[in-house]
Structure 1
Amino acid sequence: MIAVPTTYSDDLELLRSSAVAAGIIASGFFRREVKTWNKENASPVTEADILVDRYLASSLLAARPDYGWLSEETADNPSRLDCERVFVVDPIDGTRGFLRGEDSWSVSIAVVENGVPVAGVVYAPIRDELYDAVKGEGARLNGKALVRHRRAGAPPLIPAPGAVHQEMQAAGLHYTRGPAYPSLAYRLVQVATGKLDAAVARRGSQDWDIAAAALILDEAGIAFSDVCSGFPRFNRRDVRHGALAALSDMSLKPLVHAALIKVYGCPADDEIAADQASPDERI
């Protein structure tokens, strides 16, 4: 008997149920005493991150044993590069905010197929907001079509790191500096809701930070790109990305992209070529 390929919608339903369960687990540690330590890059990790990561690995890979696995809290296994589909997971995106008791942290999970996200979920359990998307079928918030609500008459609301903020101001961009939600995935999807007009990220974000949000933004009709190389590609050997921008209004692009490039720069041309090559093309 020939196996019927799993549809993207099937994968999304798996992601949704797993994200909700993961949110319940993480919420049990929220605003309580929790064991925490710093990773080699000085970013914090908690026992909640690890427990949620283990739960998601168990539940997702049991359902899809032929999929690869890439998670912030799991040692990388290069075998993922040989998989057609890969789970890309951040068990708690915004751990610093989680530790401070802020409620906008999220569980971010995507399925990436041949470098492109095809199903994705960003779930903020404390806010009871579940964003999801399937490639080609639009984006949703809590099961309903995700619709951007415009902020008529107000200057653009854009959170940005200090150096980028200074560059955009110096270039004459008239805007209000918005709230910098600690979860990058959550911050990005707020451009699709209309709570933000743009969101940016410094160079160095990794696949698990942005894969699910990238699909949700794309399906919601929001421009999202690496300012040096275009729409991000995923499940490469190097999972880091350049500076990123999500924009609701393309008139913002010249000044926002220029500020990000001035502050963070772009990889050399040969680095870009290597980063855009497929795993089989890498040296």
Structure 2
Amino acid sequence: MPERDLKLLLNAALEAGEIALKYFQNNPKTWEKDDDQGPVTIADLEINTMLEARLQAARPEYGWLSEESEDCTSRLACEKVFIVDPIDGTRSFIQGHETFAHSFAVAERGVITSAVIHMPAKDMTFTATIGGGAKLNSEFIEPSSVAALEGAEVLVAKSMMDAKFWPGGVPLITQNFRSSLAYRLSLVASGQFDAMLTFRPAWEWDVAAGDLICTEAGATVFDARGRVPIYNSAGAKIPGMIACAPSLRTSLLKHLAV
């Protein structure tokens, strides 16, 4: 079933990419969400409408969790649920940067089983199924083999390097940044960076697909408490997200003192 779900997600992602590129670098109509939740564009909404129609028609028994849909608590009683972000990196999309992504996943009893991250402006498509490995444009990928945390190339916001987040001492890493969480996770999965981390609570739709893609590639994924993330929660948030080359896990946990 994960393979069937992946095919469904992939076809939806390709259609989402076509919609997004129609508006990309074309001054899309934009609104600000309530409660400082950031911007949303006509492309986000059009893609979300397409996804709801396509995915829920194909799997009516699955629950639904999307950044651009009102949350329905009925999903909590569903064994399987779609977790989707129509456009991850909406600000980048508005600014005409190519780093936005479509991030779609299926969770079963809290575990991600199928995932797609599609970046149409970069012609990059990451996919994974549980137990089936992870791919970029149909080629298997693997994480970095870096041996030490010191000097490692890490995707992290400057604010996350404050000493208050590192009870075990701030690590000496090389800091980098990309705006989209899905993109960051994909870059770790494919070995282009050694780790990514954020200590801010992350919406499930931002990280669900990237979690499985990283894990299936061979990277290690855990939350800011050192635990394996669980999805389709009532609050729909993960308490921080860390993905890294397997060799870095012990060092990171030591610096985090968890």
The TM-score, its normalising length taken from structure 1, stands at: 0.83
Q: Is residue 156 from structure 1 mapped to residue 152 from structure 2 by the alignment?
A: yes
Query: 1:16 aligns to what?
Result: 10
Q: Is the 8 A contact 1:188 1:213 kept in 2?
A: yes
Paired with 1:58 and 1:188, the residues of 2 have a C-alpha distance of 28
Q: Is residue 232 from structure 1 mapped to residue 226 from structure 2 by the alignment?
A: no
Equivalent residue of 1:23, what SS? helix
Among candidates 22, 37, 50, match of residue 31 of structure 2: 37
Among candidates 161, 164, 170, match of residue 165 of structure 1: 161
Larger proportion of strand: 2
Q: Is the 8 A contact 1:225 1:246 kept in 2?
A: yes
Paired with 2:249 and 2:190, the residues of 1 have a C-alpha distance of 17
Equivalent runs, 1:119-134 vs 2, <5 Å: 119-134=114-129
AA in 1 matched with 2:81: V
C-alpha deviation, 1:250, in angstroms: 3.3
Identity of aligned residues (%): 37
- Structure whose alpha-carbon radius of gyration is higher: 1
AA in 1 matched with 2:156: A
Query: 1:210 aligns to what?
Result: 207
Cα pair distance change 1:202/1:100, threshold 3 Å: farther
Cα pair distance change 1:258/1:174, threshold 3 Å: closer
Paired with 1:58 and 1:131, the residues of 2 have a C-alpha distance of 23
C-alpha deviation, 1:99, in angstroms: 1.1
**Structure 1: gaps of 5 or more residues:** 1-6, 267-283
C-alpha deviation, 1:31, in angstroms: 0.8
C-alpha deviation, 1:147, in angstroms: 3.1
Query: 1:247 aligns to what?
Result: 244
Query: 1:201 aligns to what?
Result: 198
AA in 2 matched with 1:139: A
Among candidates 104, 107, 111, match of residue 116 of structure 1: 111
Paired with 1:183 and 1:255, the residues of 2 have a C-alpha distance of 22
Q: Is residue 184 from structure 1 mapped to residue 181 from structure 2 by the alignment?
A: yes
C-alpha deviation, 1:150, in angstroms: 5.2
The TM-score, its normalising length taken from structure 2, stands at: 0.91
Among candidates 214, 218, 222, match of residue 221 of structure 1: 218
Paired with 2:122 and 2:254, the residues of 1 have a C-alpha distance of 31
AA in 1 matched with 2:9: L
Q: Is the 8 A contact 2:143 2:218 kept in 1?
A: no
C-alpha deviation, 1:155, in angstroms: 3.1
Structure number with higher relative contact order (C-alpha < 8 Å, ≥ 6 residues apart): 2
Cα pair distance change 1:172/1:54, threshold 3 Å: closer
AA in 2 matched with 1:156: A
Cα pair distance change 1:189/1:171, threshold 3 Å: same
AA in 2 matched with 1:101: G
AA in 1 matched with 2:236: V
CA deviation map 1:28-57 (0-9, x unaligned):
111111111111232111111111111111
Paired with 1:165 and 1:256, the residues of 2 have a C-alpha distance of 15
Q: How many residues matched?
A: 253
Paired with 2:251 and 2:189, the residues of 1 have a C-alpha distance of 20
Paired with 1:146 and 1:84, the residues of 2 have a C-alpha distance of 29
Q: Is the 8 A contact 1:104 1:126 kept in 2?
A: yes
Query: 2:57 aligns to what?
Result: 62
| RMSD between superposed Cα atoms in Å | 2.2
Q: Is the 8 A contact 1:197 1:249 kept in 2?
A: no
C-alpha deviation, 1:223, in angstroms: 0.6
C-alpha deviation, 1:242, in angstroms: 0.9
Paired with 2:255 and 2:147, the residues of 1 have a C-alpha distance of 26
**Structure 2: gaps of 5 or more residues:** none
